[in-house]
């Protein structure tokens, strides 16, 4: 098993009682409707059910037979069935579905019904998941619908097929062979995404190339859009702000210039003529060297609204990223997005979403939630999570990210008093807006298993599930994924679930405990490099973030420091402003504390840090032994792949521990506490390591 089939393994049900229950409940499938989406749903059900039941489940047109699965949109449904379900459709949103066991003329039926065809596909996958996770399928009455409207993957893929921060091979988009050559992967990609409810994909890197907007490339984009459409997936592109100059021969890209505005309007028209359901644009502007409105002394609102006006006639949206920080502000990078964007609240067009990373720095193993959440009540904010593990060990470290996502989504902003979670901000319920979304920076490449690490598939899966419903629990999602992907054996599920749930804290422990951040290797972000101090921009240097000195360590973001805490609502500000009330997991994010600061467990800060690094290593070791113990439940190929990766992870966790402790020890001048393994190399050695070909730089 090479992992290509992801969580859609559809292996024969092992539990015999369940197997006979499934066999007696599902004899055939009745399909109403003829659209491609309905055809895909029927094919998926047939494939999944036949696999899990170990016998072919045919399609039939006989609605009088017993024990059939009926799939249909409400409008195509055989009229006699309507009275059985009509009431269930009050309040069910468009993409939602109903799965209901009913009796009709004394026959048992399972209805999978939705208002529109895509809901039928979602319902079919949801029904299959019941069997995949070994649940009973009689007496069903399930209603489900996505809480967010736009559930997107963001690919940081370049036209030459390199992937910025991609660790799973090259881009799956083979631009050279498009539009004629439709790789089977495109279809399988769409299917996998639909199975978790992802309904949009930004095909191109945020560090954008204007070429994608030329007719030659739009033809290729159109071909992909045609593949994805029946799976309910819209395509989006990144818009390079300077495109009017680069490919339009204009002299300026000033958003207030009429010729520029007209150029974008024409471009939008051209795109929509090819792709009538084109989703819209994602834009990184005036950030890390990308062009933007500020080049013309205009602001984010001018830029975003110009593009929004261009796509509005066709129902398109603009996702304008808030990931900005400027070299001209030396105080604190963490404050800049908020300072730059919050004053514009309410000024964006109603088809603009501002896309905000989960934390204020950059996809660290742990960051407190971004203070922009809750602070722009009149602007729809969309959440940007990173699925690819840029700062979390690339594709060799086993880290279950939904734990991180959950932590952020459940964080309380106090924007409208207690209970104003980030999830409520992004699902629109807190400030009553209907334009809602989530974006996940994809970890997909052309590796045979898609994501490099088999367990990184769980991050794609889990991201999709949380984009569908940001209130789901990471633990429940892990359990689903394990059952669908590997095995339903209870011992395996329990053990591996525990391992996954813990894995996120483990990476924090061996990389950046107690709120440390951004101390990774320069540029490629591979491995530890807290010593780096020679980069041209101060905020690119790890020393800027940890600020270790003879007194202590940490970034003072309180009133006596950068005052970043003031960007939070008063309850949160108050909590973070004092070391004693700051959760220890975030301590050094907000405070510069002496090495002998007393932690809650009575250890000094220095001892605590050292112990966390050691604990991280121990935990990776435990993961490895756990995996070895589970061997009997796993096929050889995936077993060995994961084992080799865990061995790399263990080696690298030790590297993190040794390099960071040796480096910080120069300042603390304190001995390693008992129980912490003494490094067998010196600091010079770690500092001498260079990785000119580390992957992921695009």
Residues contributing to the site for ligand BDP (CB under 6 A): 164-165, 206-207, 284, 288, 323, 362-363, 390
Between 206 and 572, CB nearer to ligand BDP: 206
State the nearest-atom distance from the C-beta of 328 to ligand BDP, in Å: 18
State the nearest-atom distance from the C-beta of 157 to ligand BDP, in Å: 12
- CA–CA dist 364, 234 (Å, integer): 29
Q: Give the 3-state secondary structure percentages of the chain, helix then strand then coil, rounded to 5.
A: 45, 10, 45
Nearest CA-CA partner of 595 in 497, 664, 535: 664
Beta-bridge partner residues of 384: 357, 439
Other beta carbons within 10 Å of 353: 28
Between 3 and 303, CB nearer to ligand BDP: 303
Diameter over CA atoms, the chain: 82
Nearest CA-CA partner of 311 in 272, 348, 285: 272
Per-residue buried b or exposed e for 131-164, using 16+ beta carbons within 10 Å of the residue's own CB = bbebeebeebeeebbbbbbbbbbbbbbbbebbbb
State the nearest-atom distance from the C-beta of 416 to ligand BDP, in Å: 29
- CA–CA dist 547, 391 (Å, integer): 19
- CA–CA dist 388, 440 (Å, integer): 9
State the nearest-atom distance from the C-beta of 206 to ligand BDP, in Å: 5
Catalytic residue chosen out of the listed positions 64, 288, 327, 647: 288
Between 186 and 363, CB nearer to ligand BDP: 363
CA distance readout (Å), 179 to 98, 217, 222, 526, 656 = 37, 9, 8, 36, 45
The answer to whether the beta carbons of residues 154 and 441 sit under 8 Å apart is yes
Q: If residue 101 lies in a helix (H) or strand (E), which one and from where to where?
A: strand 97-104
Catalytic residue chosen out of the listed positions 95, 362, 406, 641: 362
Catalytic residue chosen out of the listed positions 390, 447, 479, 652: 390
State the nearest-atom distance from the C-beta of 162 to ligand BDP, in Å: 12
Is 288 known to be catalytic?
A: yes
Between 96 and 359, CB nearer to ligand BDP: 359
Between 151 and 284, CB nearer to ligand BDP: 284
The answer to whether the beta carbons of residues 663 and 639 sit under 8 Å apart is no
DSSP 338-359: HHHHGGGTT-S-TTEEEEEESS
State the nearest-atom distance from the C-beta of 393 to ligand BDP, in Å: 15
Is 390 known to be catalytic?
A: yes
State the nearest-atom distance from the C-beta of 467 to ligand BDP, in Å: 18
Is 362 known to be catalytic?
A: yes
Which residue in the shown chain puts its C-beta closest to ligand BDP? Answer: 362
Between 124 and 201, CB nearer to ligand BDP: 201
Between 207 and 252, CB nearer to ligand BDP: 207
> Which positions are annotated as active-site residues?
288, 362, 390
């Amino acid at each position: 098993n090479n992992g290509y089939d992801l969580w859609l393994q559809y292996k024969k049900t092992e539990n015999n009682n369940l197997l006979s229950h499934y066999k007696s409940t599902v004899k055939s499938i009745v399909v109403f409707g003829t659209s491609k989406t309905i055809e895909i749903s029927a094919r998926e059900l047939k494939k999944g059910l036949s696999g899990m039941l170990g016998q072919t489940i045919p399609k039939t047109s006989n609605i009088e037979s017993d024990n059939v699965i009926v799939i249909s949109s409400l409008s195509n449904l055989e009229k006699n069935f309507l009275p059985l379900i009509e009431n269930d459709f009050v309040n069910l949103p468009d993409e939602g579905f109903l799965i209901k066991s009913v009796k009709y003329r004394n026959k048992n039926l399972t209805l999978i019904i939705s208002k529109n065809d895509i809901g039928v596909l979602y319902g079919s996958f949801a029904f299959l998941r019941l069997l995949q996770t070994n649940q009973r399928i009689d007496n069903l009455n399930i209603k489900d619908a996505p809480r967010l409207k736009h559930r997107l993957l963001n690919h940081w893929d370049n036209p030459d097929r390199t992937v910025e921060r991609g660790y799973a091979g090259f881009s799956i988009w083979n631009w050279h062979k498009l539009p004629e050559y439709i790789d089977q992967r495109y279809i399988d990609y769409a299917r996998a995404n639909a199975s978790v409810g992802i309904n949009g994909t930004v095909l191109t890197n945020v560090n954008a190339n204007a070429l994608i907007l030329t007719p030659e490339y739009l033809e290729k984009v159109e071909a992909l859009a045609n593949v994805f459409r029946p799976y309910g997936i819209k395509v989006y592109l990144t818009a390079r702000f300077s495109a009017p100059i680069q490919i339009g021969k204009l002299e300026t890209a000033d958003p207030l210039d009429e010729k520029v505005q007209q150029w974008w309007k024409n471009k939008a028209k051209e795109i929509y003529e090819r792709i009538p359901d084109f989703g819209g644009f994602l834009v990184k502007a005036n950030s890390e060297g990308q062009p933007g409105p500020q080049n013309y002394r205009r602001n984010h609102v001018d830029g975003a609204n110009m593009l929004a006006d261009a796509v509005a006639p066709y129902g398109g949206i603009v996702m304008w990223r808030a990931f900005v920080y400027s070299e001209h502000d030396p105080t604190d990078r963490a404050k800049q997005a908020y300072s730059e964007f919050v004053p514009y609240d309410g000024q964006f067009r109603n088809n603009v979403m501002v896309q905000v990373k989960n934390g204020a720095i950059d996809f660290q193993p742990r960051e407190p939630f971004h203070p922009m959440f809750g602070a722009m009540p009149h602007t729809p904010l969309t959440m940007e999570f990173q699925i690819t593990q840029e700062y979390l060990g690339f594709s060799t470290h086993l880290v279950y990210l939904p734990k991180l996502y959950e932590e952020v989504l459940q964080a309380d902003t106090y924007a409208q008093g207690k209970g104003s979670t980030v999830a409520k901000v992004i699902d629109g319920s807190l400030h009553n807006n209907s334009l809602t979304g989530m974006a996940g920076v994809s970890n997909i490449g052309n590796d045979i298993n898609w994501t490099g690490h088999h367990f990184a598939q769980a991050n794609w899966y889990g991201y999709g599930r949380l984009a569908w419903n940001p209130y789901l629990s990471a633990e429940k999602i892990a359990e689903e994924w394990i059952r669908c992907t590997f095995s339903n054996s209870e011992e395996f599920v329990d053990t591996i679930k525990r391992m996954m749930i813990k894995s996120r804290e483990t990476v924090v422990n061996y990389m950046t405990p107690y709120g440390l951040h951004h101390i990774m290797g320069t540029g490629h972000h591979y491995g530890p490099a807290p010593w780096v101090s020679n980069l041209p921009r101060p905020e690119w240097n790890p020393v800027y973030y940890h600020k270790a000195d003879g007194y202590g360590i940490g970034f003072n973001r309180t009133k006596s420091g950068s005052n970043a805490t003031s960007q939070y609502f008063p309850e949160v500000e108050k909590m973070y402003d004092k070391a004693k009330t700051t959760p220890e997991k975030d301590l050094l994010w907000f405070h510069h504390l002496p090495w002998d600061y007393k932690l809650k467990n009575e250890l000094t800060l220095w001892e605590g840090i050292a112990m966390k690094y050691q604990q991280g290593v121990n935990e990776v070791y435990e993961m490895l032994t756990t995996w070895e113990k589970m061997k009997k439940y796993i096929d050889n190929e995936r077993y060995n792949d994961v084992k080799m990766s865990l061995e790399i992870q263990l080696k690298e966790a030790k590297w993190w521990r040794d390099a960071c402790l040796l480096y910080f020890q120069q300042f603390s001048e304190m001995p390693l506490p008992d129980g912490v393994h003494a490094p067998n190399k010196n600091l010079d050695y770690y500092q001498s390591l260079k990785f000119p070909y580390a992957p992921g730089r695009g």
